[in-house]
Structure 1
């Protein structure tokens, strides 16, 4: 039983419903961890005491046995401090946001490729206005070759090469600009 303080009337601890919600949150976190690859797990701040339990949970395929192992994993996770679990959740959320940004960048590159193939010189002019350092001749040649491949039903070599060029221009260019901004910020902080 939870109990009440006779003087103030406040409850001593969290309600059973609150405890159940917290336990279910930890169980869901355990399921997410068990579904990650080794490389993804290595990037997370997971204590060494939990790693064997996560690996064991991933190994089990039988439904009931896996469910039981997940419950055991959650029990082990509840023994960790709340800060540890919070750090793991934050790292997982950051990875999810990074993946969403990467997918959005790929979609942006694909949209530009289609615009270049459908819009011709007008779309190329718009791209070059936004990215003046781009190689106009090379992009024009790739667009021309990709259109010829389509017309002749050839394998899409230039089509793929156009994607790679656009990705280098749009995505890598954006990342290096962001890195330069970050480097500038840290230089300012250390110099002041």
Structure 2
């Protein structure tokens, strides 16, 4: 058996092309990470080396220098938990499935809180989130129910949604 056949049989064998694709994928994650705001970057867990590289990238203006620096960020990403970083980035990206899923779950939660069984839903929500401002929460729910019954504008419902989103963001440790 030749050395090449042994390499093909090995389960851990990766071709040069496969390695190159993985490195390019890490560079793409690095590019998305760079596109986040400073506040959002602070919410992503990463090493200080990667954080410093992202800070350095904001100062680079030349195209070729930026390309080389993105390769450097890709190399740093090899030692990071890139799957967790990518998942956190997806929560910030409004076009991602994770962000949309979170958004729709908050909408349905708001609708159930102001729906037919609002009293039981409010009690259930308060048991799940005992650290929230109960008085403010109940006030937002009451205003939303009243607004819905009168068929008025949606300002109270928007405020309730925003409050629910803030609570969820605090739980997840992110800022959408």
Aligned equivalent of 1:88: 85
Q: C-alpha separation between the residues in 1 aligned to 2:53 and 2:23? A: 17
**Could you say what the CA RMSD is over the residues aligned between the two structures, in angstroms?**
4.0
Q: Is residue 34 of structure 1 aligned with residue 45 of structure 2?
A: no
Q: CA deviation at 1:93?
A: 2.3
2:146 to 129, 135, 151: 135
Q: C-alpha separation between the residues in 2 aligned to 1:44 and 1:166? A: 30
Q: C-alpha separation between the residues in 1 aligned to 2:13 and 2:101? A: 41
Q: CA deviation at 1:90?
A: 2.0
Q: Is residue 72 of structure 1 aligned with residue 72 of structure 2?
A: yes
Q: Which structure 1 residue ranges, 5 or more long, are not aligned?
A: 109-126, 144-161, 183-192
Higher Cα Rg, which structure: 1
Q: Where in structure 2 are the equivalents of 1:1-192 lying within 5 Å?
A: 3-5=4-6, 10-11=9-10, 13-78=13-78, 80-81=79-80, 84-96=81-93, 99-100=99-100, 133=142, 134-135=145-146, 140=150, 143=152, 162-169=153-160, 171=161, 175=164
Q: CA deviation at 1:86?
A: 1.7
Q: CA deviation at 1:19?
A: 0.6
Greater relative contact order, per chain length (Cα 8 Å cut-off, separation 6+): 2
TM-score normalised to structure 1 length: 0.53
Q: Which structure 2 residue ranges, 5 or more long, are not aligned?
A: 109-113, 120-141, 172-176
Secondary structure of 1:45's counterpart equals coil
Q: C-alpha separation between the residues in 1 aligned to 2:27 and 2:18? A: 14
Q: C-alpha separation between the residues in 2 aligned to 1:36 and 1:50? A: 14
